[in-house]
Amino acid sequence: MELSIGEMLLIAVAIVVLFGPDKLPQIARDLGQGVRKMRGAMEDVKTEILKETDNPVAEIKREIDKVKQAAKDYNPMADMERDAYTQAAPPPQIKPVDDPEHEGPVSR
């Protein structure tokens, strides 16, 4: 909405005629406060809208970062090595020749 200089002068003259020159400063002050409050309210609404629209995006970004970190930490070779060390080794087999208690085949 653009006003030309002539339109602004006409509005100013109408205000002076309607309210008088002595109330003009008070009207301008009240109008300025109203504009400031309106701007503040618009800024609050804008901030709330940005928060609401940003939350899902931020949550998705956090989840993606978690997955990326898990992928960096995953090392299948380390898991295989750890599993190889943790598996129980079979007990050593004693040959009958090396066992002093072995009596060999016994016939009854």
The model carries a pTM of: 0.40
Say which residue the tokens 């930490």 belong to: 73
Structure tokens at 72: 């960096």
For 96, residues 6+ apart whose C-beta sits below 8 A from its C-beta are: 102, 104
pLDDT, tens digit (0-9, with 9 covering 90-100), for 51-64: 777 677 778 888 99
Give the model's confidence band at 24: pLDDT under 50 very low, under 70 low, under 90 confident, else very high.
Answer: confident
pLDDT, tens digit (0-9, with 9 covering 90-100), for 79-105: 777 766 666 566 667 677 777 776 767
Cα 91 to Cα 88: distance, rounded to the nearest angstrom: 9
Q: Is the pLDDT of residue 108 over 70?
A: no
- Note whether 77 and 84 are within 8 A (CB): no
What torsion do the CA atoms of 94, 95, 96, 99 make, to the nearest 10 degrees?
A: -50
Cα 56 to Cα 62: distance, rounded to the nearest angstrom: 10
Residue among 42, 63, 41, 45 nearest 53 (CA): 45
- Note whether 19 and 27 are within 8 A (CB): yes
